[in-house]
Structure 1
Amino acid sequence: STASGRESAYIAVHLYRGTPYQAYFTAVERIMTAHAGRPHWGKVNTRDAEYLAGVYPRFGEFTAVRDRLDPDRLFGNDYLRRVLGE
């Protein structure tokens, strides 16, 4: 959970479809990571498994379950390799 082990507040950032978003999201992400923000791994972000493992206290437990249930990465793709690791 994005709230696991600490008090949390949620901030959602959305832009209208078709709006150039990369510069805006990059600025928001810079602010959030400065405060150990925990992005939802399935939403647009540039974080990687190393960052997520550092801010999600049970990240290793999740990836261990993934290793056990999907050892051949049938449900894998480039994005998941970045955010969840190999």
Structure 2
Amino acid sequence: MVLVVSELVTYALRHAGGTFALALAAHPDSIEVAVHDTSPQTPRMCTPDLNGGTGGFGWPMVNRLARATSVTRWPSGSKTVRAVLPR
């Protein structure tokens, strides 16, 4: 869970200029991590950059660790990225 939170918050910091909100919710069989930020740019799968240092590792890793991921885009242009992890 800590790794998923770190990746989602880092994404928000890099692409939304540091304006974000983190919410965690515990359910009987899962934990939900939600990060809301002001950027319309959504995470995407891409080939990790092994030489240039531009990243590309975080979103694939989050998707492998989570049971489910989703991105909700809001009319304001902001978004919420969610990951549900087994508890």
* Structure label with greater radius of gyration: 1
What is the TM-score when the length of structure 1 is the normalising length?
0.27
TM-score (norm 2): 0.27
